[in-house]
Each structure stands twice: as C-alpha cells, then as structure tokens.
C-alpha cells in the first residue's frame, strides 16, 4: 500500500494519458482490465458516476467519479470525440466489440458511445477480415510508464497497477468509510475478500460512497 503522499508522488511523474489512467485506478478503485475497457458510455458527468461493465464475475457496478478529475475527464472525452470524427473519415471498421456484438449490432462499433475512453494510438489490422479496427491502450504501455514513474519517485516499495486499487480501499478504511460500502465500490462478491484490507486499518461508520481523491487530507488520520 502507498500513502496518500506516495500516490501523489508517483502520479506526478506520469504524463497523459497514463497520468489520468492511474488517477482513475486510484480514485475509483479500478482493476487494470476494468480501466482499459472503459468506453464513452461508462461516464455520466451529470450524475457524477462511473459504470464499470462486466467487471470480475461479469457484474456491473457504479462508483463515484472523483470531482477533482471531472475537468480532465471532460478534456479526455473531447479528445476521444475528435479521434472518432477522424476515424469516421478513414477506411475503418470501428472499435473492437465485446463478445458477438459486432455481428449482432453491426453499426455499434462506429457509434461514439462505444469508443474506448483510452484508445490506442494506431489502428489494428484484423488478419481474417482485413479490417482496420481500434483497440484500447495496451496494458504493457501503462505498466512500463508506471514502472518508470515509480523509479523516478524514489519510493522503496513494489508498485504495480494493483497497488492503486489496494491503496483506494485502505485509504477509505482509514477515513472510516464503512467496509460494506467499500466492498460494493470494489465489486467484491464476498466481504471476506474486502476484509483483507482490515488487517492494518480499522473501519468505523461512514456509509456514503466517496473517492479518496475527494477526501480532505485530515480524513486519513
């Protein structure tokens, strides 16, 4: 686990889009795969929530969007829209779709709501069909950027993408957020999984779902 200050130190050494990606992992408690699979339709800025589709166990859940990230998230959404408009003008078959949806809804892959929130820079050739499709940011790129940021921060700890999800849970516990609320935010089916985080941190009574990025510094004791 990282302290709040250590989280900030690592993030300070990241550049876009990796900085925003790691901020979302920490601020929303996302798994790496959940982060990379985010699409435009997952974001509801009016209600301030993020819907995580088909998380572990193939269950959807909602988490609060960190208010401090809303302007940056809107900027990223604008970048995605601009890229989408460019893609529509080229020989492009759309984004990769989950399961058999490409066959079921043939036009969905080109709709804006289905675009990746963190798209890959280039298009991917599908050998069988010869189509050009867009994939999301590759996990290896984020992992490499994170490893370099961790090195630059000088923090003598093993830091991976999962470290930020772990820190999300631990920091909310330290801020006295109810453990069952944290269970829901993390998408754990069994409370015993969430209880792992209580070995070093006590939890008390706050039940309102929040992001640790929106909590005041004195909330962490």
Evaluated on CA atoms 207, 199, 27, 141, the torsion sign reads negative
- Reduce the DSSP state of residue 116 to 3 states and report it: strand
Evaluated on CA atoms 80, 124, 102, 54, the torsion sign reads negative
Active site residue 16: no
Which residue is catalytic, options 56, 67, 151, 180? Answer: 56
Active site residue 82: no
Dump the DSSP string for 43-91: EETTTTEEEE-S-TTS--EEEEPPGGGHHHHHHHHHHHHHHHHHHHTSS
Phi, psi dihedral angles at 128 (to 5 degrees): -65, -45
Which residue is catalytic, options 152, 162, 180, 204? Answer: 162
Task: Answer whether the bond into residue 17 is a cis peptide, omega within 30°.
Answer: yes
Provide the terminal-to-terminal Cα distance of the chain, rounded to the nearest Å: 16
- Reduce the DSSP state of residue 31 to 3 states and report it: coil
Which residue is catalytic, options 4, 84, 136, 188? Answer: 188
Which residue is catalytic, options 84, 133, 136, 165? Answer: 165
Active site residue 31: yes
Active site residue 158: no
CA–CA separation, 146 and 87 (whole Å): 29
CA–CA separation, 108 and 94 (whole Å): 8
Which residue is catalytic, options 31, 61, 110, 166? Answer: 31
Active site residue 199: no
Which residue is catalytic, options 26, 84, 171, 197? Answer: 197
Active site residue 162: yes
Residues tagged active-site:
31, 56, 162, 165, 188, 197
């Amino acid at each position: 686990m990282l302290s709040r200050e250590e989280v900030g130190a690592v993030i300070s050494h990241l550049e876009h889009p990796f900085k925003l990606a790691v901020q979302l992992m920490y601020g929303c408690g996302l798994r790496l795969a959940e982060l990379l699979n985010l699409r435009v339709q997952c974001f509801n800025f009016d209600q301030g929530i993020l819907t995580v589709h088909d998380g572990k166990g193939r269950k959807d859940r909602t988490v609060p969007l960190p208010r401090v990230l809303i302007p940056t998230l809107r900027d990223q959404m604008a970048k995605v829209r601009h890229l989408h408009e460019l893609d529509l003008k080229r020989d492009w078959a759309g984004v990769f779709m989950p399961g058999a949806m490409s066959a079921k809804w043939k036009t969905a892959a080109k709709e804006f709501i289905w675009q990746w929130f963190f798209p890959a820079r280039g298009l991917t050739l599908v050998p069988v069909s010869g189509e050009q499709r867009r994939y999301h940011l590759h996990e290896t790129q984020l992992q490499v950027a994170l490893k370099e940021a961790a090195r630059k921060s000088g923090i003598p700890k093993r830091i991976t993408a999962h470290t930020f999800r772990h820190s999300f849970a631990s920091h909310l516990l330290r801020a006295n957020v109810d453990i069952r609320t944290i269970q829901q935010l993390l998408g754990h089916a069994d409370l015993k999984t969430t209880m792992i985080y209580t070995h070093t941190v006590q939890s008390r009574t706050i039940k309102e779902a929040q992001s640790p990025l929106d909590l005041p510094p004195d909330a962490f004791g």
